[in-house]
Amino acid sequence: MISETGCDFQSEDKQLRVGKRIRAFWCKDGFYYQGEGVIVQLTRDSVSVQLQQRVAWSDDFTIGRTLRLPRISESIHWSPSNCVRLLKKLPLAV
């Protein structure tokens, strides 16, 4: 699946590996969160991520907290705001 912005989510999903650093996106109680983490477990339909930094505006999501998020194959629960994405290095402005 390729998004309107040209992002190939299926290709990113194929690159997920245990130990890889990612950015996690999720929703809880009507609020959207994101944070950097490390993949600690992969299944066919989900990714378990251990947060590597405290998430802003939340006392619940601290360093070491583990989250379970859907993979793209879990199409009922997966969305761009409820998923994991590879960390991308952005070019420096000139």
Question: Alpha-carbon distance 90 to 25, whole Å?
Answer: 19
> Which residues, 6+ apart, have CB-to-CB distance to 75 below 8 Å?
none
Condensed to tens digits (0 to 9), the pLDDT of residues 45-54 reads 999 999 999 9
Condensed to tens digits (0 to 9), the pLDDT of residues 54-92 reads 998 888 899 999 999 999 999 899 999 999 999 886 666
User: Per-residue pLDDT for 6 more than 60?
Assistant: no
Question: Alpha-carbon distance 62 to 43, whole Å?
Answer: 24
Residues 26-52: what's their mean pLDDT?
A: 95
User: Per-residue pLDDT for 4 more than 90?
Assistant: no
